[in-house]
Chains A and B, each alone.
Chain A
């Protein structure tokens, strides 16, 4: 009886081992890494002293506190660096802290925006891009059209809990990169010693003529955070 039962256990065990080895247990094991980032903040007065740090949600799939790297005045590494296809985008997180002695009204803007038309491709010229590719005589890239067609979405998070400040699924703020260069976005008040975590998302969602004229273009810029002590 015992020997017969042991033989049955062995047969069942072999079946379980064999079936388990066929890949029915979902297992993934590789990892992709991102390139460096670059954000710089503007200089501030003593009452308002903003510091920023690269941030990472502790667990992007589960609400929880953000992990902020070392706070500095200016980050030297690039923030975004990617090639966009139509509709695609990327996102990065930052921690912003007020080390000043006063509460500040926090704004963010895009500075040092440079639009370059790197090549004349597809129907770019046919769709009215008069500065398409390099200049024929100087061989210098001409003015690009990407910054009005890049969408910057800004979302605010409580750094200590990871909870979103605004409405779920809807960006708190959204504007074109070119617009963000001339019109800063208000991020609310930041008390002394307070911090806020910011998610920037960059999309190239241009369609039709706008997509045609902004193809094979390049835009470079820096994000800046400004803190202003409100007047009483």
Chain B
């Protein structure tokens, strides 16, 4: 193996580690604090949250929700669909519910959001990171960051320990 190749190998691994250390610290912190991560998939909240952003969301008591607050809720019209839009008012009626709208939308969302469908509020966001982390979920993270380096490690061990071929000594004449 040439010295130049060894230099490249060291640089690449150093870059990977420098990237992974803060990413791991970030994910572990999110997990420990009980937050959730959400990938922005549509432009309804542009330019506040561009497509591909990563939203860090935390729980909130629906009674503490205020007008202007971006909240995460389950779409009242499509069970299971998670939406992040801004609260623009309280819906009329006895039940606590909110009128919501995407920053880029001309009209309010068609159905009020009952308090029971509120899943949290947006704490902060990171542009582009949503696409990266979305791509890096299981099983890609395991294959790319565990299986591949593990295979490289085994390959290196095998090359290091295999018996080396040496040319037979020429018979003395």
A and B together in one complex: yes
Residues of A within 8 A of B (CB): 1-3, 5-10, 12-17, 19-26, 28-32, 57, 59-63, 86-89, 91, 162-164, 168-169, 199, 203, 205, 207
Contacts of A15 in B (CB 8 A): 24, 27-28
Per a CB cutoff under 8 Å, which of A5, A7, A63 touches B10? A5
Q: Is the CB of B78 within 8 A of A60?
A: yes
Q: Is the CB of B95 within 8 A of A87?
A: yes
Chain B interface mostly: mixed
**Chain B 3-37 against A: per-residue CB contact (8 Å), 1 yes, 0 no?**
00010011001101100110110011011000111
A1 and B30 CA atoms in complex are apart in Å by 31
Contacts of B83 in A (CB 8 A): 61
Closest chain B residue to A88, Cβ basis: B95
A10 and B151 CA atoms in complex are apart in Å by 10
Q: Is the CB of B156 within 8 A of A16?
A: no
Residues of B within 8 A of A (CB): 6, 9-10, 13-14, 16-17, 20-21, 23-24, 27-28, 30-31, 35-39, 42-44, 57, 72, 74-75, 77-83, 85, 88-89, 92-95, 99, 101-102, 104-111, 119, 133-134, 136-138, 141-142, 144-146, 149-150, 152-153, 156-157
A37 and B144 CA atoms in complex are apart in Å by 50
Q: Is the CB of A26 within 8 A of B88?
A: no
B87 to chain A, nearest CB (A): 12
| A9-B20, A16-B145 known; A1+B107 contact, CB < 8 A | no
Contacts of B110 in A (CB 8 A): 57, 60, 91, 199
Closest chain A residue to B120, Cβ basis: A26
Q: Is the CB of B149 within 8 A of A2?
A: no
Per a CB cutoff under 8 Å, which of A5, A16, A162, A203 touches B13? A5
Q: Is the CB of A10 within 8 A of B150?
A: yes
B51 to chain A, nearest CB (A): 12
B121 to chain A, nearest CB (A): 13
Could you write out 10 A-B pairs with CB less than 8 Å apart?
A9-B16, A12-B17, A14-B145, A16-B20, A16-B23, A24-B36, A163-B106, A164-B107, A168-B108, A169-B89
Contacts of B134 in A (CB 8 A): 25
| A13-B20, A169-B99 known; A205+B93 contact, CB < 8 A | yes
Closest chain B residue to A23, Cβ basis: B36
A63 to chain B, nearest CB (A): 5
A21 and B137 CA atoms in complex are apart in Å by 8
Q: Is the CB of B89 within 8 A of A26?
A: no
Q: Is the CB of A17 within 8 A of B13?
A: no
Q: Is the CB of A28 within 8 A of B74?
A: yes
Closest chain A residue to B152, Cβ basis: A6
A25 and B30 CA atoms in complex are apart in Å by 10
A47 and B138 CA atoms in complex are apart in Å by 62
A86 and B156 CA atoms in complex are apart in Å by 70
A162 and B156 CA atoms in complex are apart in Å by 61
Q: Is the CB of B109 within 8 A of A61?
A: yes
Per a CB cutoff under 8 Å, which of B30, B92, B104, B152 touches A24? B30
